[in-house]
Amino acid sequence: MTEQVISAHIPTRKLKMPRASGKGRQVDATALEEVRALLGDEPRRKDLLIEHLHKIQDQYQHISAKHLVALAYEMRLSKAEVYEVATFYHHFDVVKEGDTPPPALTVRVCESMTCEMMGANSLISSLEKAMGDDVRVQRVPCVGRCDKAPVAVVGMHPVEQAETSTVAALVEQGHTQPEQIDAILLDEYLASGGYQTYQKCINGDIKVEQVLDMMDDSGLRGLGGAGFPVGRKWRIVRDQPSPRLMAVNIDEGEPGTFKDKYYLDRDPHCFLEGMLIAAWAVGIDEIYIYLRDEYAAIRVMLEQELIQLQQNPPVPNLPKLYLRRGAGAYICGEESAMIESIEGKRGMPRLRPPFVAQVGLFGRPTLEHNMESLYWVRDIVEKGPECLTKHGRNGRKGLRSFSVSGRVNKPGVHLAPAGISMRELIDEYCGGMQQGHEFYGYFPGGASGGILPASLGDVPLDFDTLHEYGCFIGSAAIVVFSDKDRARDLALNAMKFFEDESCGQCTPCRVGTSKAVNLMKNADWDQPLLEDLSEVMVDASICGLGQAAPNPLRSVIKYFPEELK
């Protein structure tokens, strides 16, 4: 067939004139000026999208459709992309055109396991009646203050052991800003010898191989939950081509966990010095610190301290330090989801391989660490591995920071020997059970770590010691409950949390958690169906959220069968 014949078979089409403006919603000039004023001279890079969304949310207490369009225009991003990111995170109140914005003030009340045990549902009901139309009362997941349950947050101001009267008084007085924290700041830290260990590393008094060997000898493992040996991780990333990056995960959203907050409230520069030593040992020039949005006071403090640290560096040529703000997404505790969020995207876990050590943040080899893992680095280098290895019980070595909440007299973060049992922890560190409460069971590793009965209260608590019981220690978030509570109710609370926090990327997790919640609400559990559902979630979910979500319900079936009769 000739070229002329081919062209004869192509239908002609009337050419359209180009549009005078783009498709869809047009940019509102006033909204664009407002967005430009909020962004100021800051870069309009895609990875700063979430940071810029926070600016709008903070200013207007919601994000309107016109501001979304203006932000998309200003950042040269599609409106769909900006909308998808904004609606993914719980802390952004996206208001569609024609909808009524939320009230100017929101009171958030935690409804996770410990707060529910301590009366959160009654508090919420009372606040809904007491607050006027200009205040929104919102149920939210764990806010990282489980030892002070129940907890409410007025704007950004937390109210511990909250009562309706105290919350109402803060609302009336307009106390909505973050509280003040009494941490050791840079001047005091330097005066007490801070950053001298880091200086020795930089000056060559301490060699890289010495530090790597000390990490190995200390037995330090990832304390965000995975438990990967720190020294081995450093060597893996160090062997990757440069430039290499670091991402620090302080998005501890696991219900029952608040240890990172505990240490940052008190001694943030111990963590920062450990972080800088790690960066030096691995050969890293840029560090991104990802902090959960619920820790507003810590964010304010860290912003100021990082500026001070970079303006008055203890050594020349510090790595570039960036603080990134989460936006209320538990899934971003997973390392690859956190990296996606730092890049300005929805926090959806990546398929592996490749692993983040090889292809991580911005496509570069990335050392990802939990905050507490880095907190111990300075002491190990300064005092030697024995500062950890000399501790331990029941054949285990090391120290564990247990976040303990629930029916004990002294909840809080308790630094105790690795391998301690639950009964020993309650009796020696937590002041025993509350009056009128008998030890009945416990979550050894937060909502995802499963549930064990009091009859297994003598099992050593450490990495690898709980697997045979269908549980794990994770981040050592322990929730203790008594004979006045029901394990099945707490398991349902945990499953509702997983349903709400599923990123929705994979069907087994998205549908499985929802189906499990509906089945667990029934008086009689369909145990064979729940087990089939659990097996699919464990085998086919992309990340740890879906894989671990069935642990509490499986534990109830295995250890608390009397509650299902």
Whole-angstrom Cα distance, residue 550 to residue 530?
A: 9
Domain at 29-95, CATH class: mainly alpha
Torsion of CA 544, 550, 551, 552, to 10 degrees: 130
pLDDT at 495: 97
Quick check: 87 and 55 in contact, CB under 8 A? no
| 560 membership: H or E segment, kind and range | none
Q: Is the pLDDT of residue 2 over 70?
A: no
User: What CA–CA distance (Å, rounded) separates 293 from 54?
Assistant: 10
Instruction: Look at the chain and count its residues.
Output: 565
pLDDT tens, position by position, 230-283: 999 999 999 999 999 999 999 999 999 999 999 999 999 999 999 999 999 999
Out of 216-220, 221-225, 287-291, 388-392, least confident range: 221-225
Rounded CA gap, 486 and 556, in Å? 10
Encode pLDDT of 400-433 as tens digits. 999 999 999 999 999 999 999 999 999 999 999 9
Mean pLDDT of 338-344: 98
CATH 3.40.50.720 fits 486-564, yes or no: no
Q: Which helix (H) or strand (E) holds 62?
A: none
Task: Say whether pLDDT at 486 is over 80.
Answer: yes
* Tokens describing residue 196: 């001298």
Mean pLDDT, range 321-331, rounded to an integer: 97
Q: How confident is the model at residue 565 (pLDDT cuts 50, 70, 90)?
A: confident
Q: At 243, which amino acid appears?
A: P
Asked whether the beta carbons of 38 and 70 are under 8 A apart, the reply is: no
Please, what CATH class does the domain formed by 186-385 belong to? alpha beta
> Per the CATH hierarchy, to which homologous superfamily does domain 105-173 belong?
Glutaredoxin (3.40.30.10)
Contact 220, 376 (CB under 8 A): yes
Residue extents of the structural domains in the chain = 29-95, 105-173, 186-385, 391-482, 486-564
Fold of 391-482: Ubiquitin-like (UB roll) (3.10.20)
Residue corresponding to tokens 């120290």: 399
Cβ atoms of 46 and 72 within 8 Å: the answer is: no
pLDDT, one tens digit per residue, over 156-197 is 999 999 999 999 999 999 999 999 999 999 999 999 999 999
The answer to whether 347 touches 338, Cβ cutoff 8 Å, is yes
Asked if 16 and 314 touch (Cβ cutoff 8 Å), the reply is no
Res 22: pLDDT: 56
Q: What's the mean per-residue pLDDT of the chain?
A: 94
Contacts of 418 (CB under 8 A, 6+ apart): 391, 392, 393, 396, 397, 398, 399, 400, 461, 462
Res. 541 pLDDT band, cuts 50 70 90: very high
In sequence order, the 6+-apart residues with CB closer than 8 A to the CB of 407 are 117, 433, 434, 437, 439, 480, 481, 482, 484, 485
Instruction: Tell me the C-alpha to C-alpha distance, in Å, between residue 540 and each of 511, 544, 545.
Output: 12, 11, 11
Collect all residues with Cβ–Cβ distance below 8 Å to 366 and sequence separation of at least 6: 237, 244, 245, 246, 247, 339, 356, 357, 360
pTM of the shown model:
0.94
Decide: helix, strand or coil at residue 4.
Answer: helix
Q: What confidence category does residue 4 fall into, taking pLDDT thresholds of 50, 70 and 90? A: very low
Confidence of residue 445 (pLDDT cuts 50, 70, 90): very high
Confidence category of residue 91, pLDDT binned at 50, 70, 90: very high
The pLDDT tens digits for 108-160 are 999 999 999 999 999 999 999 999 899 999 999 999 999 999 999 999 999 99
The mean pLDDT value for 498-522 works out to 96
Residue 435 confidence (pLDDT) above 90: yes
Q: Is the pLDDT of residue 84 over 90?
A: yes
Q: What's the rounded Cα separation, in Å, for the pair 322 and 287? A: 6
Assign 315 a pLDDT band (cuts: 50, 70, 90). very high
Check pLDDT > 60 for residue 1.
no
Distance CA 509, CA 515 (A): 10
